[in-house]
Homo-oligomer: A and B are copies of this chain.
């Protein structure tokens, strides 16, 4: 596995790096960012996966979420993957919410997306192999979080593979995509019109069916401009109906931006670190 180093910068006593590699899952070159805290110099540390939202690359949260300070303090690594395959040979759409930058963390089965849009496999299998090969990380201590489309990814991936993702949180997740215009359009395009194929990618439906064996933290801004698309009330109802150990916080006045994410990032990093320590 050849890993190209794009950049490495000292950050809060650790290293913030950006790396590129050839992906078998997507058939493209993929870029991701990784933050290694000072504690990683002394031995393997827990790792928190941060999945980003629509239009984002590996770079947005790395530069705007303010997570490194908290990760350094808690001794936990951060991985910031990209949100889709990219390139001139990769299918795309004029809309910002379909195609490049909008992978929705699924393996596409439909034309023209199927050849490259395999973000589920990339995030859950290939990229983990890359980072565990390269960095000093504890494979047995992985948590996952994300924002918006990335919150959708974090919730659906962790509920599907809870033995791998031992801690879980989300910022303003797309919580019920099969009932939202952020979901129906993309699932139809990537997965086809048979909604039976969508259920495994809807956090509310997964919560109703199986839940998560740990507890989880969800933050949502009350002034989020996309609340009608995110549908936090569906996930809130499903969590309470299931008696899912959880904390659901409706944060007054916060919108969908990184100002919201960075305000609560410290709480989320601490949440994961407390659950991933042995």
Contacts and interface: CB of A to CB of B under 8 A. Distances in A.
A180 interface: no
Nearest to A248: B248
Nearest to A219: B247
A220 B249 CA distance: 14
A222 B243 contact: yes
Contact-residue bracket for chain A: 20 to 34
Contact of A245 (B233, B235, B252): B252
SS class, residues of chain A in contact with chain B? mixed
Contact of A240 (B223, B233, B243): B233
B237 A222 contact: no
A248 B239 CA distance: 10
Contacts of A239: 233, 236, 250
A246 interface: yes
B245 A215 contact: no
Given A233-B237, A233-B240, A233-B241, A215 B252 contact: yes
| Identical chains bound together, number | 2
A251 interface: yes
Nearest to A227: B243
- By CB atoms of chain B within 10 A, which of A236, A247, A251 has the most? A236
A219 to B, nearest CB: 10
Nearest to A221: B243
A251 B245 CA distance: 5
Contacts of A245: 222, 250-253
A232 interface: yes
A228 to B, nearest CB: 10
Nearest to A232: B240
List the 3 closest A-B pairs by CB distance, nearest first: A245-B252, A237-B237, A233-B240
Given A234-B237, A246-B249, 17 more contacts: A215-B250, A215-B252, A220-B240, A222-B243, A227-B243, A233-B238, A233-B239, A233-B240, A236-B240, A237-B237, A240-B248, A240-B250, A245-B251, A245-B253, A247-B249, A248-B248, A248-B249
12 contacts: A235-B240, A236-B236, A236-B237, A236-B248, A237-B237, A237-B240, A239-B250, A240-B248, A240-B250, A245-B253, A246-B249, A247-B250
Interface of A: 215, 220, 222-224, 227, 232-241, 243-253
